Amino acid sequence: MGPTARRLTVALGLAGVLAGGAAAAVAMRADTPPVSGPATFDGRFVFARIRYADGYAGGGFFGRQDLPWSHDYPRAEQNLMRILDEVTLIDPYLGADGGTILMLDDPNLFKYPFAYMSEPGYWTLSEAEEEGLRNYLLKGGFLIFDDFHADDHWYNLETRMKQVLPDLNWIQLDASMPVYHSFFDIDSLDYPPQYPETPIFFGLFEDNDPNGRLIVVANHNNDIGESWEFSMTGWVPIDISNESFKFGVNYIMYAMTH
């Protein structure tokens, strides 16, 4: 058994035992403090979730009154960080809140090489946040968009990113690209559908060069974070949750090495 196979075996086992350490889901309201995570930055890898203002007034999953940017918080990041801790040499922050929550215009964002945004179909962007995200990505940051579907949500994401990096164009990703082999070998992007539409993955590359550095990934028609969150409940089949963890670990490993 090769090293990747051994790592996957560990991940398979972990997906079934995460229930023992998972905290209850926490509803995030508009008055939630924008920063959580460790009290002081100590060099550990910390999952950074992006908070944004929006006009969304609906309820969350199963009546949870959370906000789009907080969907699947904190269990998604808690569970992914446990997997990351077990299968890699990265030393992640394993606090009860799963990571840190930041606005795009927060200078502390530059401490974190990896950032995640949920529901970008509702994302709005101030001038300060536009500048903050632009600088973050051009200086080495890596951002994942997840948990969104349909044309109108894609149009909102496309519009916002044109404000940030107007010269870059979305390129459809395929399984041969380095991000999908940065730790686990993901040989197919036929991810199990979680929305009516077919999952598809897009990326933004520096200088629009698909052989260059990937700086943004959009998991369109997809909700990988939900599979992280519910991996220990029995609601998500183990093969789907394992695939979701492989994507998450690969995204982080790519962010840490490129």
47-51, 69-73, 134-138: least confidently modelled range = 69-73
CB-based contacts of 105, cutoff 8 Å, min separation 6: 126, 128, 129, 131, 132
Q: What is the pTM of this model?
A: 0.85
Residue 217, pLDDT > 80, answer yes
What phi and psi, each to the nearest 5 degrees, are found at residue 193?
-60, 135
Q: How many CB atoms are located within 10 Å of the residue 32 CB? A: 17
Of 154, 148, 160, 150, nearest to 124 by C-alpha is 160
pLDDT value of residue 24: 34
Mean pLDDT computed over every residue of the chain: 84
Report whether pLDDT(15) > 80.
no
Q: How confident is the model at residue 6 (pLDDT cuts 50, 70, 90)?
A: very low
Which domains are seen in the chain, by residue range?
Answer: 3-257 (3.40.50.12140)
